[in-house]
């Protein structure tokens, strides 16, 4: 028996949870100037993003899915990539990581943008919980038909 609605919601819940974890890490490291060591120098934390895509299945599964219009797919995390935007430059000559001009490279994390992304991920998570509960209720009602 295929439980398509459950599978789709479960994959989305897992993906959104990982997305919220990555956003939390970004916010936690918004002021971290020593996240790594490259070429003898400390480098700031670089913002990370979650990349998601539809679940890709094997050829025979895809053929069966195309024949069945109600076939479930779902979503999966394909990668967690680093944001390539440049680091913020802040003038703070007293900072231990300041260069000769008093400039400090700060992480490319915008806390406001992260909070908006967190709200979006949270709403998506809530929507999938609602869909999962609706699927469960319909499944339970269908079991009661035979009584």
Domain ranges of the chain: 4-30+48-82+109-144
Lowest mean pLDDT among 19-23, 66-70, 129-133: 66-70
- So what's the pLDDT on residue 64? 67
| Residue labelled with tokens 């919220």 | 20
Task: For the full predicted model, state whether its pTM sits above 0.75.
Answer: yes
Minimal CA–CA distance to 50: which of 77, 12, 25?
77
User: Which long-range contacts (C-beta less than 8 Å, at least 24 apart) are formed by 136-141?
Assistant: 136/6, 139/3
The per-residue pLDDT of the chain, averaged, comes to 88
Give the count of alpha carbons within 13 A of 96, CB side only.
7
pLDDT for the residue 22: 97
Segment 73-132, tens digit of pLDDT: 788 999 999 999 999 999 999 999 999 999 999 999 999 999 999 999 999 999 999 999
State the DSSP string of 65-83: HHHSTT----EEEEEEEE-
Note the pLDDT of residue 55: 81
User: Quick check: helix, strand or coil at residue 97?
Assistant: coil
> What is the gyration radius of the CA atoms in the chain, in angstroms?
22
**125: nearest Cα among 10, 3, 5:** 10
């Amino acid at each position: 028996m295929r439980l398509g609605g459950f599978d789709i919601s479960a994959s989305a819940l897992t993906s959104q949870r990982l997305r919220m974890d990555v956003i939390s890490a970004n916010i936690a490291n918004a002021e971290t100037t020593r996240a790594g060591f490259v070429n003898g120098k400390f480098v700031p934390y670089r913002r990370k993003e979650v990349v998601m895509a539809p679940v890709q299945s094997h050829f025979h599964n895809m053929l069966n899915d195309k024949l069945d219009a109600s076939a479930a797919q779902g979503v999966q995390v394909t990668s967690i990539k680093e944001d390539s935007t440049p680091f913020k430059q802040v003038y703070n000559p007293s900072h231990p990581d300041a260069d000769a001009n008093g400039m400090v490279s700060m992480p490319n994390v915008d806390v406001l943008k992260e909070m908006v992304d967190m709200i979006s991920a949270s709403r998506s998570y809530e929507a999938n919980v609602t869909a999962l509960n609706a699927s469960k209720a319909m499944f339970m009602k269908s079991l009661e038909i035979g009584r």
